[in-house]
Amino acid sequence: MHLFQQNVSLLHLNTFKMNVVAPYFSEVTSEEQLLHLYNHLPTEKPLLILGGGSNILFTQDPDAIILHNQIKGIQKIKESNTHIWLRVGAGEVWHSFVLNCLENNRAGLENLSLIPGTVGAAPMQNIGAYGVEVKDFIEEVRFFDFKLQEFRTLKNNECNFGYRESIFKKELKGKTMITYVTFRLNKSPDLKLTYGTIQDELDKMKIQNPSIQDVANAVIQIRSSKLPDPKIIGNGGSFFKNPEIEYKQFIELKKKFPAIPSFKVSESIVKIPAAWLIESAGWKGYRKGNYGVHKNQALVLVNYSDAIGEDILNLSKDIIESVYSLFQITLQREVNIF
Is 96 marked active-site? Answer: no
| Residue 316, binding choice from ligand FAD, ligand NAP, none, Cβ under 5 to 8 Å by partner class | none
Q: Quick check: 149 binds ligand NAP (CB under 6 A)?
A: no
Residue of 164, 166, 201, 333 marked catalytic: 164
Is 106 marked active-site? Answer: no
Give the per-residue SS3 of 258-287.
CCCCCEECCCCEEECCHHHHHHHCCCCCCE
Q: What are phi and psi of 233, to 5 degrees?
A: -125, 125
Nearest Cα neighbor of 299 from 324, 254, 261, 334 is 334
16's CB contacts (< 8 A; 6+ apart) are 53, 56, 57, 58, 230, 234, 235, 236, 303, 309, 312
Q: How far is the CB of 112 from ligand FAD (least distance, A)?
A: 7
| CA gap 111, 213 in Å, rounded | 10
Nearer to ligand NAP, 92 or 334 (CB): 334
Nearer to ligand NAP, 189 or 196 (CB): 196
Q: Binding string to ligand NAP for residues 104 to 143, with x set by CB under 6 A, is what?
A: ------------------------xxx-------------
- The binding site for ligand FAD (CB under 6 A) comprises 15, 48-56, 69, 90, 115-118, 120-122, 124-125, 127-129, 176-178, 227, 230, 235-237, 336
Is 110 marked active-site? Answer: no
The number of beta carbons lying within 10 Å of the beta carbon of residue 58 is 27
User: 3-class DSSP state for residue 159?
Assistant: coil
| CA gap 57, 80 in Å, rounded | 42
Q: Which residues in 289-308 contact ligand NAP (CB under 6 A)? A: 297
Catalytic residue annotation: 164, 238, 334
Contacting residues toward ligand NAP, per CB under 6 A: 128-130, 195-196, 226-227, 237-238, 242, 263, 273, 275, 297, 334
